[in-house]
Amino acid sequence: MAPEPIPTLVVTGSHRDAGSQVGLARADVIRAQVAFDDRIPGGRTRGEQLELADRYRAVTAAAYPWYLEELEGMAEAADVDPRAAFACMIEEIWYEPYAWRLAGRCTDVVAVPPATVEDTILVGHNNDMPRTYQDQLIGVEWRVDDEPALFTIGNGMWISCGWNSTGISMTGNELAPLDERIGIPREIQFRSMLRMPSVEMAIAEALRHDRASNYNHVLVSADGRVVDVEGSATDAELVEPDERGHLVHTNHYACTRMERYEGDPEYLPNSATRFDRARTLLGERPAGSVDAGAIRTILSDHEGEPNALCRHPERYGDASSSATAFWWIADVTACEVTFGRGNPCDSTPQTHRFST
């Protein structure tokens, strides 16, 4: 049986207003996240964890005061401590340093001319997280005053991918950089990137000097600009599609110059299996033949389980492992996103366009 569709929430007004509306709608999820005492690593107390989070908060407050307004509105509406809510947004403090076991393992597949039918620009994304995250998913259309409209998918607190009304799709993959530091958390940095009206401005946000770490960001715009930002806290490599119009990324440093930042060499072969499989499947498609259906077929591939593109951990007796929690295909040319809860091979597609 296909999973239930992902509900959509529309929030409007100021950043505080929007945060409050999310907080009211997702109060149960937010309260569960801030009850984190049993998840604190390294033998720290709750007070010590909050004090560590405050160091990241100070940098964020200087850079993004609007974000703290948004988060405080969310926390107040959900009736939780804003300090604790902020701590939940700092992925960098929820594991032992360099003891990497990524909860999210994702795949991005981009096809542009000459690969695509009718010169369309397509982005496919599988978001791999525990099934508990899949159950919490919500789409949010953000209509914040004087900013581009956004559409995001996540659990209300965390955003896993997004799209804005200027025609930019922003997806990506979690990495394990060895140079993390106190700074703007990568989840919050991504939230700021979504506000940007151009790929160049989004890249500038991805490369901020005061960032704590980084994701691999896949940025694709309706004007045909495609840039993959393979980043760490202190460095980055920018990659564009190859001459066939193909670009693929998973959860390891694929650029030679960035390999020195790889913090999880044990997991790297698993990510490389998906990377190689996606590139092979995309490469088997004749020039001018890739459409949204082809992208979904690639995302639905089960070759190489348990390290398949479409992850079903229940099939191999590891139900606690990451599964494909949702999929996303952006037809950037048509300014339309198709997505679904669960695995792309067996879920009900939903479509989003920005309302006028």
Dihedral in degrees, nearest 10, Cα atoms 25, 130, 304, 280: 30
Q: What are the structural domains, with CATH classification, of the chain?
A: 1-356 (3.60.60.10)
The Cα 300–Cα 317 span in angstroms is 20
What's the whole-model pTM score? 0.95
Q: Which residues lie closer than 8 Å to 186 by C-beta, 6 or more apart?
A: 91, 92, 211, 212, 213, 214, 215
Q: Can you give the pLDDT of all 356 residues of the chain as single tens digits?
A: 889 999 999 999 999 999 999 999 999 999 999 999 999 998 899 999 999 999 999 999 999 999 999 999 999 999 999 999 999 999 999 986 545 455 568 999 999 999 999 999 999 999 999 999 999 999 999 999 999 999 999 999 999 999 999 999 999 999 999 999 999 999 999 999 999 999 999 999 999 999 999 999 999 999 889 999 999 999 999 999 999 999 999 999 999 999 999 999 999 999 999 999 999 999 999 999 999 999 999 999 999 999 999 999 998 877 667 899 999 999 999 999 999 999 999 999 999 998 65
141, β-bridge pairs: 10, 151
Q: Which residues lie closer than 8 Å to 138 by C-beta, 6 or more apart?
A: 6, 7, 8, 9, 25, 26, 153, 154, 155, 156
